[in-house]
A and B are shown apart, each in its own frame.
Chain A
Amino acid sequence: MSGSLDSYLILSGILFAIGAFGFLARRNAISMLMSIELMLNAVNLTIVAFGAFVEPLSGHASVIALLVVAVAAAEATVGLAIVLAIYRNRRTPLVDEYHEMQQ
């Protein structure tokens, strides 16, 4: 089971689906950011699994996964700063109370 690509890809698909559900369903903006991190982790798992099982991709997949990790860190930094900036104005981290921005 641990020696086949399929099991890793299925695991990654389930993880991505959980992250997508959390992003769509949670009310808290920070929970949504955490769900984005879960989805990015799922994508990274897919990349690394392909790199581990497909010979020509061996090193390239790891490099791309490292770049994804760096971009995820940048995304988390800016996302949390935006959440904090909105929180200072609105006094709530719940996204469904941000509807004033629609005007």
Chain B
Amino acid sequence: MPIGDTIPLTPVRWEDVLFLALATLLIVSALLVVSLRDIIHCGLAMIVSFAALAGIYVLLGNPLLAATQVLVYIGAISILILFAIMLTQTKNAPARLVFQTQARLAAPAAAAIAVVITGVVLTTTWPAGGERLWTSTTQISTLLFTDYVLPFETVSVLLTAAVVGAVVLARRDPRESALAELPPGPAQDETPAGGEPGGEPGGEPGGERGRS
């Protein structure tokens, strides 16, 4: 028996109910991501927000992007972030303060962003049709391998470069592993002349090697 467009005996449409539920889940979990004290809980709330967004992609008629969202965000990025959280957990120095001192300035600024975007959206007449278009995977793949071949290849090069760069950045220098046994303290903070004073990320591994 097929399910009708609306909830039985009411004029409320199923899609609206789904959209409201997913949007509420998305907003609440996003708020939890930025406000929870324990960062592991932040990571888990982030997974929930990714999943809610995948549901919204399905509502928008884009199943391929929903699948990509689940695979890449929930499957890869969340796991990466959870690993990084576990590697940077400090037992002796728990984060007493969750927010920086600029949080009381950031909150009204973010609220202003939301208000401005909402106002702009509501006052603009978009050249949009009233109904959603189903985006087929065939359509996407045809475009991806004809019009967008160059960006596609560039992204593959970018991903390779990012992986190599991440390995170089995160690798522990074997000469430095002897230094890692030392207790952390201000003595390590005084960088010898080899350390790059610039703040660019590319200077990091060079600075590490200059120190050892």
Contacts and interface: CB of A to CB of B under 8 A. Distances in A.
B184 to A, nearest CB: 4
How many of chain B's residues touch chain A, expressed as a range? 35 or more
Main SS class of interface, B: helix
Interface in B91-114: 93, 95, 97-100, 102-103, 105-107, 109-111, 113-114
A30 B85 contact: yes
Interface residues of A, number: 86
Contacts of B126: 5-6, 53-54
B44 to A, nearest CB: 11
Interface string A65-87: 11101111111111011111111
A69 B68 contact: yes
Of B31, B56, B172, the most chain A CB neighbours within 10 A belong to B56
B189 interface: yes
A10 B155 CA distance: 29
B129 interface: yes
Contact of B19 (A2, A44, A103): A2
B27 A11 contact: yes
A86 B81 CA distance: 16
Nearest to A56: B127
Contacts of B184: 90-91
Chain A binding surface SS class: helix
A89 to B, nearest CB: 7
Contact of A17 (B99, B114, B169): B114
A52 B66 CA distance: 13
B90 interface: yes
B50 A58 contact: no
Interface in A22-64: 22, 24-31, 33-35, 37-38, 41, 44-45, 48-55, 58-63
Interface of B: 13, 15-16, 18-20, 23, 26-27, 30-31, 33-34, 39, 42-43, 46, 49-50, 53, 56-57, 59-62, 64-65, 68-69, 72-73, 76-77, 80-81, 84-85, 87-88, 90, 93, 95, 97-100, 102-103, 105-107, 109-111, 113-114, 117-118, 121-122, 126-133, 135, 139-140, 142-144, 147-148, 151-152, 155, 158-159, 161-163, 165-167, 169-170, 172, 180, 184, 188-189, 197, 199, 201, 204-205, 208
Interface of A: 1-22, 24-31, 33-35, 37-38, 41, 44-45, 48-55, 58-63, 65-67, 69-78, 80-96, 100-103
Given A38-B34, A94-B95, 12 more contacts: A1-B20, A2-B19, A14-B114, A14-B117, A25-B102, A30-B81, A31-B34, A50-B128, A59-B142, A62-B64, A74-B161, A96-B100
